[in-house]
């Protein structure tokens, strides 16, 4: 997985008009923890895939530690 994109209902411009807008998450790094490789960093926001993506980004994430739990609970 490199990215996830979908239309999200919202008003990202603050105009008072709600409608569907492109929204996405872009993976920027993978890491391996306990033998499992996962997307470990990325960014999300409005207008993914358009020339407005840089202004729509509002969330960045980074996973720095992960432990696989294999026992039944």
**Short-list 7, 8, 2, CA closest to 25:** 2
63 has a pLDDT exceeding 90 = yes
Residue 68 pLDDT level (bands cut at 50, 70, 90): confident
Distance in angstroms (rounded) separating the CA atoms of residues 73 and 51? 47
Residue 57 pLDDT level (bands cut at 50, 70, 90): very high
73 has a pLDDT exceeding 80 = no
CB atoms within 10 A of CB 45: 21
**pLDDT for residue 45:** 97
pLDDT tens per residue, range 5-48: 999 999 999 999 999 999 999 999 999 998 999 999 999 999 99
The half-sphere exposure of 29 on its side-chain side, counting CA atoms within 13 A, is 9
> Which strand (E) or helix (H) includes residue 43?
strand 36-46
Distance in angstroms (rounded) separating the CA atoms of residues 21 and 47? 6
């Amino acid at each position: 997985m490199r990215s996830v994109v979908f239309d999200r209902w919202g008003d990202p411009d603050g105009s008072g008009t709600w409608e569907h807008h492109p929204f996405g998450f872009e993976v920027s790094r993978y890491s391996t923890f306990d033998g499992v490789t996962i997307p470990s960093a990325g960014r999300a926001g409005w207008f993914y895939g358009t020339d407005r993506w840089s202004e729509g980004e509002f969330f960045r994430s980074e996973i720095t530690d992960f432990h696989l739990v294999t026992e039944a609970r």
